[in-house]
Structure 1
Amino acid sequence: MIDFVRQTVLPYFGIRTNDAKVSPLGNGHINDTFLVRWGDGELVLQGINTQVFKTPNALVENAHKIAKHLSGKRERELYALQVVKPLKTDEGQLAIDLGERGFWRAISYLPHSLSIEVVTCEDEAFSAAKAFGHFSSALSDLDATQLEDVIPQFHHLPGRLEQLQSAVEQDVHQRSAGCREWIYFASSQQALLSELAELSPKLPLRICHNDTKINNMLYDKRDMSSLAIIDLDTCMKGHLMYDFGDMVRTFTSPEEEDSTALDNVHVRESIFAAICRGYLSELGTVLSEDEKNSLWLGARVICLMIGVRFLTDHLNGDVYFNIHHENHNLERAANQFTLYKSLLEQETKLKVYLS
């Protein structure tokens, strides 16, 4: 793969040296991402997974519109973070489509950047939540309908539960017998659907990041200040309760999302409180009252829904998320359902931080 990237893909972006150093970057589940360094230059190169993102041109156009808007805000000192920008091909295109050999795009690389996988303290949670809130606040005056839906119904719990049921019924890989406990548990959470049906129509459409994991906020490793929001692949119109929910999902547990140490998977109250403080410090005057009321629902829905998606992919033969060993997606599902249970158990005390 690296030889192919160096010899075939990079020349489209004006890099024609065999001295370019290409190395894998990050641990994303979906795309192939590489850091490319040559001479005094560097960039990030991504091979977009077109089985997941079936309209990859829409993805790069969305990212371009967001980067342009944020760059304009930054020039006027209205946006404090760095902006990851798309880099065009020699022919002025945002990406290159090589058919069966992949759909490739390049973006700027931020030196001195650092990502983390697990939040270790309140300060990390606060700064990351504040950064994601700042990102959304800066985009609040950009018409959300300008962005195309790169994955329709991405955060649609009823549809995700239907997909799970279909996977169970088909059971193509005969895996359902090994996870009946989690299948039953997920299917028993129907009450969330009624809450969604009642509240969702009251919420305005916003430009949402839709993947606010802790490792999608870069720190400046020189002083651990917030540097940039990255991975704009799933930016679409939607409801901000899901961005809040994904922060709760990925910040609050002391374990990574595929940890099998389920006894240690729980929502840390102090981290939840720090998320609320950071996020609302940037969006408190932007969010409507209904949006503020939706945040607790978003936390529950996302924790459950990601577990459902992992479980569905396990049953379907691991066709969506990259796995590193047998039952990896089942382990991820169990982890997320355990975190969801912890969220429910602490509802009374956690909701206080949103009031």
Structure 2
Amino acid sequence: MLPYFGIRTSDAKVSPLGNGHINDTFLVRWSNGELVLQGINTQVFKTPKALVENAHKIAEHLATKRQKSEYSLEIVAPVRTDKGLLAVDLGEQGFWRAINYLPHSHSIDVVSSEDEAFSAAKAFGHFSSALSDLDATQLEDVIPQFHHLPGRIDQLKAAVTCDQENRLASCSDWVDFVFSQQDILQELAQISPILPLRICHNDTKINNMLYDKRDMSSLAIIDLDTCMKGHLMYDFGDMVRTFTSPEEEDSTSLENVHVRESIFAAICRGYLSELDTVLTQDEKSSLWLGARVICLMIGVRFLTDHLNGDVYFNIHHESHNLQRAANQFTLYKSLLEQEGQLKNYLK
């Protein structure tokens, strides 16, 4: 597919990039330049053209903001094909798009300091603030009901009923735990209808914020694949989920998985420093719920995929998704145990 982007295959060096669960991502270098080439997982993203159109609209809006000195981060933008297209659909050979590569970029998988958490949360807040005046309905939902906990629990129930891989016996305790958390669904039903729809990143993992490795300053927000309309409490929640634990999300050292209070506090400071005047009072009140929902929901998704035979997330071994689920449920429990002190940082 390289010739579609004006690159001679004989002149290019291609290497894997990142550790994403869904798409296949590569760094392509040749004598005259470099770019990121990505094969979109069309089993997950059923409308890949909408995905690249959404990313294009966001990049254009942020570029306009940057020209006005209203956006300070670098922008991940589409690299068009030699025919001016945003992507190449090769049928059985995949759906491919390219984006610009940012030199000097560096990502991390585990937050090691309050400064790292603060700068990343501030960057994600800056990103959302810059998009707050872009009509959220202009973006198509590439994965409908992506952050919809009742639907995710229904999917788990279906997977439990089917148990097509005969794996239920090995994880029934976690299934029972999920089904015991019904109160959180009532909270969601009460607050969701009164929250404004905004453009959300929907995957605010720590490794989706690039640092500049020259000085470790915030460089760019990447991975815009799941940018859709939604509620910002989920963006906040995914930062809590991926920043606060000292362990990676598939770590089996569950005794070390917990919410680090100082990191949680740094997230709150960084995020609200950019969005305090943008968020409504209802949105601010929803942030704590967002943190709990995301930790529980991602665990539910990992557990469901394990029961279904690992058809969604990329895995390295048979029990990988079950390990991820146990990790996320342990983090969720830590949130509940520390609710009293953690909520104070959102006041």
| TM-score tier after normalising by the smaller chain length | over 0.9
Q: Alignment partner for residue 58 of structure 1, among 50, 65, 69? A: 50
Q: Alignment partner for residue 222 of structure 1, among 214, 218, 221? A: 214
Give the Cα separation in 2 of the matches to 1:52 and 1:17: 28
Equivalent residue, structure 2, for 1:15? 7
Give the Cα separation in 2 of the matches to 1:288 and 1:200: 13
Equivalent residue, structure 1, for 2:230? 238
Q: Alignment partner for residue 161 of structure 2, among 161, 166, 169? A: 169
Q: CA deviation at 1:227?
A: 0.1
Q: Alignment partner for residue 281 of structure 2, among 258, 283, 289? A: 289
Equivalent residue, structure 2, for 1:324? 316
Whether 1:116 aligns to 2:108 is yes
Give the Cα separation in 2 of the matches to 1:76 and 1:109: 23
Whether 1:276 aligns to 2:275 is no
Equivalent residue, structure 1, for 2:18? 26
State the one-letter code of the partner of 1:323: I
TM-score for the superposition, normalised by structure 1: 0.97
Runs of 4 or more, structure 1, over 6 Å off, are none
Kindly report which structure 2 residues correspond to 1:333-352, keeping only aligned pairs within 5 A, or say none: 333-352=325-344
Q: CA deviation at 1:19?
A: 2.2
Whether 1:155 aligns to 2:153 is no
Give the Cα separation in 2 of the matches to 1:223 and 1:217: 15
Give the Cα separation in 2 of the matches to 1:319 and 1:326: 12
Give the Cα separation in 2 of the matches to 1:12 and 1:189: 50
Give the Cα separation in 1 of the matches to 2:97 and 2:182: 40
Secondary structure of the residue aligned to 2:164 is: coil
Secondary structure of the residue aligned to 1:18 is: helix
Whether 1:104 aligns to 2:99 is no
Q: CA deviation at 1:40?
A: 3.1
Equivalent residue, structure 2, for 1:261? 253
Equivalent residue, structure 2, for 1:303? 295
State the one-letter code of the partner of 1:301: V
Equivalent residue, structure 1, for 2:78? 86
State the one-letter code of the partner of 1:210: N
Q: Alignment partner for residue 127 of structure 1, among 119, 122, 135? A: 119
Whether 1:141 aligns to 2:133 is yes
Secondary structure of the residue aligned to 1:295 is: helix
Give the Cα separation in 2 of the matches to 1:136 and 1:14: 34
Give the Cα separation in 1 of the matches to 2:42 and 2:36: 18
Give the Cα separation in 1 of the matches to 2:213 and 2:30: 22
Give the Cα separation in 1 of the matches to 2:119 and 2:26: 27
Secondary structure of the residue aligned to 2:36 is: strand
Equivalent residue, structure 2, for 1:5? none
Question: In the TM superposition, what whole-angstrom CA distance separates every residue of 1:93-128 from its partner, at most 9, and x where no partner exists?
Answer: 100000010000000000000000000000000000
Unpaired runs of at least 5, structure 2? none
State the one-letter code of the partner of 1:61: E
Whether 1:314 aligns to 2:303 is no
Q: CA deviation at 1:17?
A: 4.2
State the superposition RMSD in angstroms: 0.4
Give the Cα separation in 2 of the matches to 1:260 and 1:16: 44
Q: CA deviation at 1:187?
A: 1.0
Q: How many residues were matched structurally?
A: 347
State the one-letter code of the partner of 2:268: C
State the one-letter code of the partner of 2:345: Y
Q: Alignment partner for residue 249 of structure 1, among 224, 230, 241? A: 241
Q: Alignment partner for residue 71 of structure 1, among 63, 68, 71? A: 63
Give the Cα separation in 2 of the matches to 1:214 and 1:17: 33
Equivalent residue, structure 2, for 1:6? none
Secondary structure of the residue aligned to 1:63 is: helix
Secondary structure of the residue aligned to 2:317 is: coil
Q: CA deviation at 1:326?
A: 1.7
Equivalent residue, structure 1, for 2:36? 44
Secondary structure of the residue aligned to 2:71 is: coil
